[in-house]
A = this chain, B = another copy of it.
């Protein structure tokens, strides 16, 4: 089945080339023509590989999350297993790729907005798409965090993710966001304390 492999492979490649454009322009504002142009194919071909704009996005997002988690784990596996070091490692990683994650958050949100008002989406569809893909990815991320920190308290992983999202959000509309480091300090202390209870 060589052809099938090729297709999958090609799709992945297209997907990863798409990210930049989604990040720069946003899900809502990007046009299929722009996307096709960037990928140096025609719109027709684009539709040959993906059934819709939405499908491209959904596949892109899933791909990225997997990649990011893997990427982090490879980079941070040798960090000492005490809580403080590992929470720091997570936040350092976030900080290091701050702009990238901001962009990723942006496109998630953008997509979310576009879906919001679609009234003609049947409930079944919804349960398999949009909102819930985020839920699933969120859960996976939290589990990865907790696993990495070797703790069982779901709320703590959730707290960390919540906080990171909040941080990225602030950075989004405060380009000169100053208190990143200070806030990270607070978080680390908080987590260390909580996990000792």
Q: Mark A166-197, 1 if CB is under 8 A from B, else 0.
A: 11011011111001001101110111011000
Integer count of this chain's copies in the complex: 4
Residue of B nearest to A25 (CB): B117
The contact of A166 among B109, B163, B182, B190, by CB within 8 Å, is: B163
A173-B174 Cα distance, complex, nearest whole Å: 23
Instruction: Decide: A154 and B179 in contact? CB cutoff 8 A.
Output: yes
Give the residues in chain B near A106, CB-CB below 8 Å: 112-113, 116
Q: Mark A9-39, 1 if CB is under 8 A from B, else 0.
A: 0000000000000001111111000000000
CB contact under 8 A between A165 and B169, given known A113-B28, A117-B26, A131-B175: yes
Instruction: Decide: A183 and B170 in contact? CB cutoff 8 A.
Output: no
- Of residues 120 to 170 in A, which have CB atoms within 8 Å of B's CB atoms? 131, 134-135, 138, 154-156, 158-159, 161-167, 169-170
Whether a CB of chain B sits under 8 angstroms from the CB of A70 is no
Instruction: Decide: A28 and B114 in contact? CB cutoff 8 A.
Output: yes
Q: Would you list 5 pairs from A and B whose C-beta atoms are within 8 A, ordered by A residue?
A: A106-B112, A112-B172, A131-B173, A155-B183, A190-B190
Chain A contact residues, CB within 8 Å of chain B: 2, 24-30, 42, 44, 106, 108-110, 112-114, 116-117, 131, 134-135, 138, 154-156, 158-159, 161-167, 169-170, 172-176, 179, 182-183, 185-187, 189-191, 193-194
